[in-house]
């Protein structure tokens, strides 16, 4: 018996696997992470007292998180996909408990659990999406999922900081853990089944080295990875350095969190970006988004002495980068072959960790010699360069 048989008819869309169900799952996952997304860099800055050291901490967690992500194929050999998804939910619960200690060790542990949980949930959710949603429907279903996520990423960052300011860090962390627990319960209520063509039980999947070779041998998958990686670096820059920029400019930490939340309001435009892509094509929207995000990020560095104006440009940059969140995943979901979805999804999911490593590494090097606004300029230059490569997306996508 599945969840669809246990609920009234008007709630069926939230119980039968499809765009709405995946949106609710993404909402709970995102809320658990969003509640702490601004608190983590601000707490790290209070402990370390240096933007460069905060970058180094994120770099170390990126390396450790990559190791955790690469363990997911081995976990999927040992257990069913539903257990790996469940581990991701429990990692988010543990994240809140660990960060609540307000120590450097606890913060680092919580950051690692956040990375591992995100990778486990993202990899397995992509497989469930490919099981239940046809390729031609992805341009419509992915914006719906991002729309649900927009609720979390809009409310979560500022709500987390406000709760921490008024009740203490523990309260915001407890709320994040509750979201992870709710996701765990909702997932098991759904009782989703795996497509046997995606998760064969008769033989173990190929090793990671083989999967990497297969992935990088396919130009469309390489391009999909590059799109995901570069938007991941931009968002890492936004989530880490936008709050720090506002605090260094003399504003309260809640103002920095508000910038992040307002930037994520633009996720509500995901359906509009999906509709636009259906009219003019995914490639046109993606290239335009890269050009817009690049130009706006460089402009932030140019007017950094006017922090409120710079914050407005950062929010505008988040608006156009949302188009990449909406459509960037479509490039992978359409390009991957059905018979190797699980293996390629595992490789693809490492983009978060490689972005979390490469971004802070580059930003730490920049901050060794240059002030904070140089980080925005570097991120903008990367996005402008990627606009050129995005031209190679298939015209008919």
Nearest CA to 199 out of 10, 341, 21 is that of: 341
pLDDT of 6 over the 50 cut: no
Q: How confident is the model at residue 397 (pLDDT cuts 50, 70, 90)?
A: low
Q: Which helix (H) or strand (E) holds 193?
A: none
Nearest in space to 92 (alpha carbons), one of 45, 39, 36: 36
pLDDT at 393 over 90: no
Closest listed residue to residue 124, CA positions, set 150, 68, 86, 181: 86
Over the stretch 353-390, which tens digit does the pLDDT of each residue have? 788 888 888 988 898 899 999 999 999 999 999 999 99
- Extract the tokens encoding 208: 């990671």
The least confident of 39-48, 139-148, 165-174, 356-365 is: 139-148
> Tell me: the pLDDT tens digits for 51-97?
888 888 988 888 888 888 778 877 887 888 899 999 999 999 999 99
pLDDT tens per residue, range 100-112: 999 999 999 999 9
Say which residues have a Cβ less than 8 Å from residue 10's Cβ, sequence separation at least 6: none
Contact call for residues 274 and 325 (beta carbons, < 8 A): no
All structural domains of the chain: 3-198+205-390 (1.20.1250.20)
pTM of whole model > 0.75? no
On the question of pLDDT at 32 being above 70, the answer is yes
Please report, rounded to a whole number, the percentage of residues in the chain having pLDDT higher than 70.
Answer: 89
297-335, pLDDT tens digit by residue?
A: 999 999 999 999 999 999 999 989 988 888 877 788 787
Nearest-CA neighbor of 96 among 36, 25, 46, 149? 36
Q: Mean pLDDT lowest for which of 32-41, 143-152, 204-213, 338-347? A: 204-213
User: 302 to each of 231, 307, 309, how far by Cα in Å?
Assistant: 21, 11, 11
For tokens 């669809």, the residue is 4
| Distance of alpha carbon 371 from alpha carbon 360, whole angstroms | 15
């Amino acid at each position: 018996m599945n969840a669809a048989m246990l609920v009234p008819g008007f709630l069926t869309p939230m119980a039968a696997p499809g765009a709405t169900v995946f949106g609710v799952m993404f909402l709970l996952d995102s809320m658990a992470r969003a509640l702490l997304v601004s608190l983590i860099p601000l707490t790290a800055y209070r402990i370390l007292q240096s933007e460069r050291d905060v970058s180094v901490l994120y770099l170390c967690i990126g390396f450790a998180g990559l190791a955790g992500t690469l363990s997911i194929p081995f976990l999927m050999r040992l257990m069913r996909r539903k257990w790996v998804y469940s581990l991701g939910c429990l990692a988010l619960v543990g994240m809140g408990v660990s960060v609540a200690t307000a120590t450097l060790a606890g913060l680092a542990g919580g950051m690692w659990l956040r990375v591992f949980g995100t990778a486990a949930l993202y990899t397995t959710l992509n497989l469930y999406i490919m099981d239940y949603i046809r390729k031609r429907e992805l341009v419509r279903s992915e914006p719906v999922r991002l729309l649900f996520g927009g609720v979390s990423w809009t409310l979560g960052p500022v709500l987390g900081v406000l709760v921490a300011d008024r009740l203490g860090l523990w309260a915001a962390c407890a709320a994040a853990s509750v979201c992870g627990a709710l996701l765990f319960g909702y997932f098991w209520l759904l009782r989703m089944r795996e497509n046997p063509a995606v998760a064969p039980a008769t033989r173990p999947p190929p090793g990671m080295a083989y999967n990497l070779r297969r992935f990088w041998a396919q130009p469309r998958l390489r391009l999909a990875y590059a799109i995901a990686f570069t938007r991941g670096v931009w968002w890492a820059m936004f989530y880490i350095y936008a709050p720090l920029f506002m605090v260094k400019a003399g504003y309260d930490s809640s103002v920095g969190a508000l910038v992040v939340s307002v930037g994520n309001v633009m996720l509500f435009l995901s359906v509009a970006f999906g509709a636009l892509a259906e009219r003019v094509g995914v490639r046109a929207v993606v290239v335009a988004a890269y050009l817009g995000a690049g130009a706006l990020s460089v402009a932030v560095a140019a007017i950094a002495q006017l922090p409120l104006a710079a914050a407005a440009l950062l929010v505008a940059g988040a608006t156009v980068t949302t188009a990449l969140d909406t459509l960037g995943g479509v490039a992978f979901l359409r390009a991957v072959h059905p018979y190797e979805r699980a293996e390629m999804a595992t490789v693809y999911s490492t983009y978060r960790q490689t972005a979390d490593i490469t971004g802070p590494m580059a930003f730490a090097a920049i901050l060794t010699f240059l002030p904070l606004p140089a980080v925005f300029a570097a991120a903008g230059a990367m996005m402008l360069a990627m606009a050129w490569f995005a031209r190679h997306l298939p015209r008919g996508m």
